[in-house]
Amino acid sequence: MKARRAVEIKGSALPVLRVVVRDCDRQSLDVEMTAAVTNARPLLADALAVLDLRERNGDETSASDIVGAARSAGVRLAAVLVQEGAPREPLADSDLPIIDAPLAASEQPEPEGSEPAAGESEQVPSAPPEPLGPPAPLYVTQPVRSGQRVYAQRRDLVVLAPTSRSAELMADGSIYAFCLLRGRALAGAVGDKSARIIATQLDAELVAIAGVYRTLEAADVGGLGDGAVSIALAFDEEGSERLVLRPVDQFLRS
């Protein structure tokens, strides 16, 4: 029997949190970085984090200042994401890998003035090929113990066994739990704002959808009844994103 190598380099599907920083002044950067990190502290404690500078257009705040603000707030950075062709000199002293990565189509900012100029013909994009269908969900059929992490990459997660405190469930799509859901549940991990978390028995410590987090106390779920609960993204009166918990039977009555 051939002996296994002592060292191998392999690919990984480990979940990675992105700390996205857009244009802002130096003072606002410190305040907002501290607030964001404080809200996400339970996740940052156990996850890899990369600093995402791809949505910046350029202001007086330097890239090195942003790295310093993230580190001062307690973020353990693993790398920095930049747009292709972006200058790397401002990050030379950061001691971090710098990765060129284009923004996904869903993350691209809306172009100003989308109407075609006079005399220009509007380009009609060709129809994309028909998809073969979404990938099958990842099914969890064994209990998820404390400290364990389950990640459904590019698909939904269907949980058919109970989870323990400090366990973590993560999915790029939605999470459907048909047993007692404890620990942490993170849906829409790569930014899908339409993702949901639906649980027949919700007792989670923390939930998140597309990077918007909320810690849960007994009072948060106590008034929702004994039935299934749906968690989704919504906007408050100020236009900020927040997580909303609703009994599933409200959808059935409406």
Domain boundary among 85, 104, 123: 104
Q: Between β-strands 197-202 and 229-235, what pairing exists: parallel, antiparallel or unpaired?
A: antiparallel
Same domain? 244 vs 161: yes
Same domain? 174 vs 82: no
Same domain? 92 vs 46: yes
Which letter does DSSP use for residue 237 in this model? T
Same domain? 242 vs 160: yes
7 in any annotated domain: no
55 in any annotated domain: yes
169 in any annotated domain: yes
Same domain? 246 vs 149: yes
How confident is residue 156, by pLDDT bands cut at 50, 70 and 90? very high
Instruction: Report whether pLDDT(236) > 70.
Output: yes
Mean pLDDT of 244-251: 80
Q: What percent of the chain has pLDDT over 70?
A: 79
Residue with tokens 């004994």: 226
Same domain? 152 vs 46: no
DSSP string, 130-172: PP--PPPPEEE-S-B-TT-EEEETTS-EEE-S-B-TT-EEEES
Phi, psi of 183, rounded to the nearest 5 degrees: 80, -140
**pTM for the whole thing?**
0.56
- Residue 183 belongs to a domain with what CATH number? 2.160.20.70
Residue of 194, 186, 143 lying closest to 43 (CA atoms): 186
- Domain count along the chain: 2
Same domain? 98 vs 144: no
11 in any annotated domain: no
Rounded Cα distance between 81 and 50, Å, is 7
Residue of 164, 169, 166 lying closest to 140 (CA atoms): 169
Per-residue pLDDT tens digits for 181-206: 999 999 998 889 999 999 999 999 99
DSSP string, 48-103: EEEEE-TT----SS-HHHHHHHHHHTT--EEEEEE-TT---GGGTTS-S-EEE-PP
10 in any annotated domain: no
Residue with tokens 């002592």: 6
90 is in which domain, residue-wise?
A: 16-104
Same domain? 97 vs 161: no
Task: Say what the pLDDT of residue 220 is.
Answer: 77
Rounded Cα distance between 115 and 98, Å, is 36
Residue of 153, 159, 220, 235 lying closest to 188 (CA atoms): 153
1 in any annotated domain: no
3 in any annotated domain: no
26-39 vs 63-72: helix axis angle to the nearest 10? Answer: 40
153 in any annotated domain: yes
Q: What is the distance, to the nearest Å, from the Cα of residue 168 to the centroid of all Cα atoms in its chain?
A: 14
Same domain? 146 vs 248: yes
- CA torsion sign for 42, 218, 147, 143 is negative
Domain boundary among 51, 79, 104: 104
Task: Say what the pLDDT of residue 200 is.
Answer: 92
Domain boundary among 84, 104, 124: 104
Per-residue pLDDT tens digits for 105-149: 656 655 555 554 555 555 555 555 555 667 889 999 999 998 888
Same domain? 62 vs 148: no
Per-residue pLDDT tens digits for 85-100: 787 888 888 888 888 8
Q: Between β-strands 197-202 and 175-181, what pairing exists: parallel, antiparallel or unpaired?
A: parallel
Same domain? 247 vs 146: yes
Same domain? 68 vs 144: no
